[in-house]
Structure 1
Amino acid sequence: MSKDDPERITPGGFVRPRSTAKRQELIRATLRVLEREGWSRLTARKVVAEAGLSLGHITYNFPSMDALLAASYRQLAEDLRAASDAADAGASGSVPDRLAAFLNAAFTEEFLAPGHLRMRIDLWSAALAHPELAQTEAELYDCYRQRLTLLLSALAEGHGTEVRVPDITDTIMAALDGLWLDWARRRDSLAVRRSLDTLIDLARVSLAPEETGGHGAGPDPSPR
């Protein structure tokens, strides 16, 4: 049983499930405090006051504040995953449209709200000093990257460009991080849309050149 497992063994040896509802209240309260005040001002007392609970609920449901932060980070990722799934469901069946829906889902009004964006950047910073949060951040990054890689691999299928998928994945992932930071500084929605369109064009020209009428870069002949 992991230290963050939603069950607890009582002194009598019986397994008592932690309250899923209370855990979720604490997670959402943590996100609201982070969004409103930032990571540097986050405290356990502020979280329980936001949730309308006592301090004991944190110690009962989480082994540490780092564990609560990690769970909150996972909730952020789950919110983004749900938005991506909804966008994918609304897209046509073509891979380029699904790729566009996937990338644009992370740049809707909800995810570009100033407080939400500051919260994401704060959590990136917090991960530098908190190993548990860093591990969670790495896992969530890898999960998002894998989903992007699957879409790019589907785009490359039949074009002999599969070898280029890792390079295009690296480029898009780095560009997405840069776009969030650029938005935080400039708030230029048109620039964000142009950049996302450019990333989609890059993927199509690089991985499915025949469909775009271009020649693309072709497969990379160098060994990997």
Structure 2
Amino acid sequence: MAAMRKSPRTYLTSEERRAEIIEAAFKCVKEVGYAKLTARKIAENPNISLGHITYNFKDMNEVLVETYRYTSKLLVAAVSDQRAKGFNSPHEQLKIFLGTFLNPNFLKRDFLRVRIDLWSAALASEDIMRTEISLYEHFRNELSEILRQIADERTKGHESIPFLVDSITATMDGLWLDWVRRKNIEAIENGLRACLLLVNCVLDTAPSKAAQGDALESG
């Protein structure tokens, strides 16, 4: 049987070619995992050759780093799109923000494989670790800002924001891993509800700024 010929290659800029290679790498990781990702595997794409990969990337570690960034951008873009659909109260923004990360599209087996595989890759690669930390910090900063807006509305609870960010972040990571094991959508919904309840309970019981001022004066 004759070998399948690759389709004629269209001229692309270096930036476009890199993006094409990263998209192909992303698909490969979904199919076979990062441990089996090779330049030859990526070059099975009809529009990509080994030469394209070696010309545009210094090594496969760089390909993996950019693949993680690509994965991260998908998550960030999805959150931004959902939050931009209309004006919502800060509390509703929080629900949208957390819910998007637990969207069914990001709970599919192939996407979860990419996320978990690249988490594993981060343990062996400082470059990938830095990229993972960057996404982590972006999540925490966005979450902190939404919580600050909620605290502003209630004029209290600002000092509890670091506690809430740490607690919600840990819960979200746990929900992802629990989903891998059990595929229980009710557990996802319960986890999301628990995060929202935690925010309400902590901020509702926090002393108001006026009460804090009175306490300082009396002390």
Equivalents in 2 of 1:125, 1:93: separation in Å? 36
Aligned to 2:167: 171
Aligned residues: 197
Structure 1 length normalisation: TM-score?
A: 0.83
Structure 2 length normalisation: TM-score?
A: 0.85
Match among 74, 77, 83 for residue 88 of structure 1: 83
- 1:143 and 2:162 matched: no
List alignment gaps of at least 5 residues for structure 2: 1-11, 213-219
- Contact 1:34-1:42 at 8 Å conserved across structures: yes
Aligned to 1:12: none
- 1:195 and 2:191 matched: yes
Aligned to 2:73: 78
Alpha-carbon distance change, 151 to 51 in structure 1, aligned in 2, over 3 angstroms: farther
- 1:104 and 2:99 matched: yes
Match among 174, 180, 185 for residue 184 of structure 1: 180
Which amino acid letter does the alignment assign opposite residue 163 of structure 1?
E
- 1:41 and 2:36 matched: yes
Which amino acid letter does the alignment assign opposite residue 126 of structure 1?
A
**Deviation per CA, 1:163-193, whole angstroms, max 9, x where unpaired?**
1100100000111110000000000011101
Aligned to 1:13: none
| Deviation for aligned residue 1:75 | 1.0
| Deviation for aligned residue 1:71 | 1.0
Equivalents in 2 of 1:121, 1:31: separation in Å? 13
Report % sequence identity.
Answer: 37
Equivalents in 2 of 1:107, 1:90: separation in Å? 18
For 2:45, what is the secondary structure of its paired residue? Answer: helix
Query: By percentage of residues, which structure has more helix?
Result: 2
Aligned to 2:147: 152
Structure 1 or 2, whichever has the larger Rg, is 2
